Structure 1
Amino acid sequence: MLITMLLTSCGDKVTSGPGTAEPTPNSASSASSPVTGGGTVACVDWARFETPQDQYDKASVVLIGKSVSRAGETTIYGSEATTHLVEVEQVLKGNPGEGDLRITSMPPTCTGGETYPDGDPLDTAERVIIFATKQRGEWFTHTPAQGVLPFPQGAEIPFH
């Protein structure tokens, strides 16, 4: 998948620091930023997956788990993002390592300063399926809208 990103300068320059991730093949194209006075911003137009099977096929890691606590913040595409400590129940794809995992909820970009306008998908104590990719040594949900699926006890896995 081709990645295109437009960086627009809206004021003071934002500098990258530790934890800043680069675009991945999971993002598609970009648009200019509606954010004013905020700095260099990347507006990412996220890939949309037709089915959970498509999400599974494109993710580096897929697991069943639940967030047990917040574990900090990081910056990606000029947006702040919340990192969670996830208790891993079962790994369905990939090799994320042993034990609990730090995963950051990929934020939508160019939201006018609100990090998660529809809520942080990992800010739940409920059991979920997480589709993740690794960027610069850190795990992120696949996309803001399609990185987490509710997965209550007794539910069937929606892919193979």
Structure 2
Amino acid sequence: MKRIRLWQCIIPYLLLSMLLTSCGDKMTGGPGTAESAPTSTSSASPDNSPWATSSILGSTSTSQPQETCAAFLPSTPCSRYTSVSGTTGGEELLWVAEGTIKVRLTSVEGTLQMAMKTDCSPISASATIAGNAMTLGKIATGASGCIGTAGDHQAWIQEFLKRPIAMTYTQDILTWQSGIDTLSFKSD
């Protein structure tokens, strides 16, 4: 019985002390306050000795990656593009002309990223552009459960993006050609 009573007295004091000593958003640097501790990272020295390390001190704060607009071609405006037409094997894709596809290119810390929104789900991938040819890295698709027509559109777009894409820009229209398929976009 005495032990239960003892714990009943100790637990509130422990909780109060944890509350008073917990870290907050503001660090004052005075006695008894939380301060950020420098982090250190170790890396092997050039002689590859597992015991030789160098220590680099840095701050614990991190910054968000910087994203900036990038142009698909030097002559294209840096903006979002909306689909205006598309073909597959010479046949018109009416669903593309309805503005179903929206695409933009950004640079995130020096790496090009293509982001696309379809009638099914978002798609993104790293991009490499050499001259007028764009090649996408591993394609990521947002969670979707599209079936029927929207699912068919998504599958077609996925196959289109897997191949190298030749880009042209004439009369304010950005045209992508991938194999026998084309997509055309207008800047928003």
Please tell me the TM-score bracket, short chain as reference. under 0.3
Q: Which has the larger radius of gyration?
A: 2
- What's the TM-score, normalizing by structure 2? 0.23
- Greater length-normalized contact order (CA 8 Å, ≥ 6 residues apart): 1
From the two aligned structures, give the one with the greater helix fraction: 2
